[in-house]
Amino acid sequence: MSYTLGISPLVSIDIRDASDWYSAKSRDLGLIFEKHAFNALEKLVDQPLISPTKYNKIRVRRISKKFPFYLHYEVIEKDNLILVYAIFHGKQSPKKWSKRLNI
């Protein structure tokens, strides 16, 4: 089954903020983070249901073993649609991203 990927514009901000933080620590680390984040988004289309539902209808998947950031997304199976709402550090409060969804 083929899924369409919908990405909130706020995800770009999440990626940029994390990339900037990592770049301040090490010159190339921000670019490496971005590569991992975009690879995780590409892989999500292949197996969106592999991650369990964690919060209401939201699934959470780590972007890579190297970075403790997670995709927060919803799968709408009847429409073959994946909606990505956030990419957040695993230690951040779920309240931060749940405000984006009003849940």
Read off the CATH number of the domain in which 42 is found: 3.30.2310.20
- Nearest Cα neighbor of 63 from 27, 95, 100, 15 is 15
Q: Which range of residues forms the domain containing residue 35?
A: 4-101
Strands 69-76 and 53-55 turn out to be unpaired
Total domains in the fold of the chain: 1
CA distance 18 to 48: 23
The string of pLDDT tens digits covering residues 41-94 is 999 999 999 999 988 899 999 999 999 999 999 999 999 999 999 999 988 877
What's the chain's length in residues?
Answer: 103
Higher-confidence residue of 12 and 27: namely 12
> Which residues lie below 8 Å from residue 6, measured CB to CB, with a gap of 6+?
81, 82, 83, 84
Please determine, for residue 102, whether its predicted confidence score (pLDDT) is greater than 70: no
pLDDT at residue 73 in the model: 95
DSSP category for residue 50: S
